[in-house]
C-alpha cells in the first residue's frame, strides 16, 4: 500500500531531473548578474533553488518552524560546482525525508510562526507540497527568465522551449 508521501516523492524525482537540466545551463561568468537591483543574483537564486528541498527536509519533520530564527539571504556561490554539490545533498536529504514519512507524520500538524505569533498550521504534507515543491517551481521559473534575459538557450521544462522541442 502506498503512503501519502509516495506520489509527492515521485513528482519530486521527476522535477529534480528538470531542475538539473536548468542548472546545466548556468553561465559560470554570470553568477553575480542581477536583472534588477532588488533581485537576487543569478548565483544566489540558483543556490536558493538548490537548497530549498533539503532545507525543508530538515524542518518538516519537526513540529514547526519559527521564521525569526531563519536566514533567508542566500550566499553568493563562487562557481556552478558549488551549486550542483549543494543541490545533490539537498536532493538526498529531501528523498530521505519523503521516503521515510509515514501517513501519520504526513497528516500531522506543522506550524509556521514568527516568535509567539502563529502564521499557519497545516498538515505536514501540505507544507511539503506548498513550500518544498510549489515554492521551488516558482523560483525555477524565475531562473528560466534570468537565463532568457542572458540569452542562454532554455532546456525543455514541461514542453518545448523556444530553443528545444522534445517532440521532433
How would residue 2 be classed by pLDDT, with cut points 50, 70 and 90?
Answer: confident
**In angstroms, rounded to a whole number, what is the distance separating the alpha carbons of residues 123 and 118?**
14
pLDDT at 72: 82
Strand ranges of the sheet holding 109-114, from the earlier edge strand across to the other edge:
64-66, 109-114, 117-123
pLDDT at 10: 96
Domains and CATH numbers, the chain: 6-149 (1.20.120.450)
pLDDT at 103: 97
How would residue 120 be classed by pLDDT, with cut points 50, 70 and 90?
Answer: very high
pLDDT at 85: 98
Contacts by 58-62, CB closer than 8 A, 24 or more apart: 58/93, 58/97, 60/97, 60/110, 60/124, 60/127, 60/128, 60/132, 61/97, 61/101, 61/105, 62/110
* Grid cell of 98 as nine digits: 519523503
**What's the pLDDT tens digit per position in 138-153?**
999 999 999 999 999 9
**What's the pLDDT tens digit per position in 51-109?**
999 999 999 999 999 999 988 899 999 999 999 999 999 999 999 999 999 999 999 99
Q: What is the pTM of this model?
A: 0.94
**Residue 113: beta bridge partners?**
66, 118
pLDDT at 23: 98
Average pLDDT rounded to a whole number, residues 117-146: 96
Is 157 within 8 Å of 143 (Cβ atoms)? no
Strand, helix or coil for residue 130: helix
Length of the chain: 168
**What's the pLDDT tens digit per position in 12-53?**
999 999 999 999 999 999 999 999 999 999 999 999 999 999
- List Cβ neighbours of 45 (8 Å cut-off, separation of 6 or more): 39, 74, 139, 142, 143, 146
The answer on pLDDT for 1 being more than 80 is no
**In angstroms, rounded to a whole number, what is the distance separating the alpha carbons of residues 9 and 21?**
19
pLDDT at 168: 86
Amino acid at each position: 500500500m502506498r503512503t501519502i508521501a509516495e506520489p509527492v516523492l515521485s513528482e519530486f524525482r521527476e522535477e529534480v531531473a528538470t531542475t538539473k537540466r536548468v542548472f546545466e545551463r548556468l553561465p559560470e561568468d554570470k553568477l553575480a548578474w542581477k536583472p534588477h537591483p532588488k533581485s537576487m543574483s543569478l548565483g544566489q537564486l540558483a543556490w536558493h533553488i538548490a537548497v530549498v528541498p533539503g532545507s525543508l527536509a530538515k524542518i518538516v519533520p519537526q513540529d514547526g518552524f519559527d521564521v525569526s530564527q531563519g536566514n533567508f539571504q542566500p550566499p553568493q556561490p563562487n562557481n556552478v560546482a558549488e551549486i550542483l554539490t549543494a543541490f545533490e545533498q539537498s536532493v538526498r536529504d529531501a528523498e530521505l525525508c519523503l521516503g521515510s514519512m509515514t501517513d501519520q507524520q504526513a497528516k500531522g500538524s506543522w506550524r509556521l510562526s514568527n516568535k509567539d505569533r502563529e502564521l499557519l498550521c497545516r498538515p505536514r504534507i501540505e507544507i511539503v507540497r506548498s513550500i518544498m515543491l510549489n515554492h521551488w517551481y516558482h523560483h525555477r521559473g524565475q531562473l528560466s527568465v534570468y537565463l532568457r534575459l542572458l540569452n542562454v538557450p532554455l532546456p525543455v521544462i514541461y514542453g518545448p522551449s523556444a530553443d528545444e522541442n522534445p517532440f521532433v
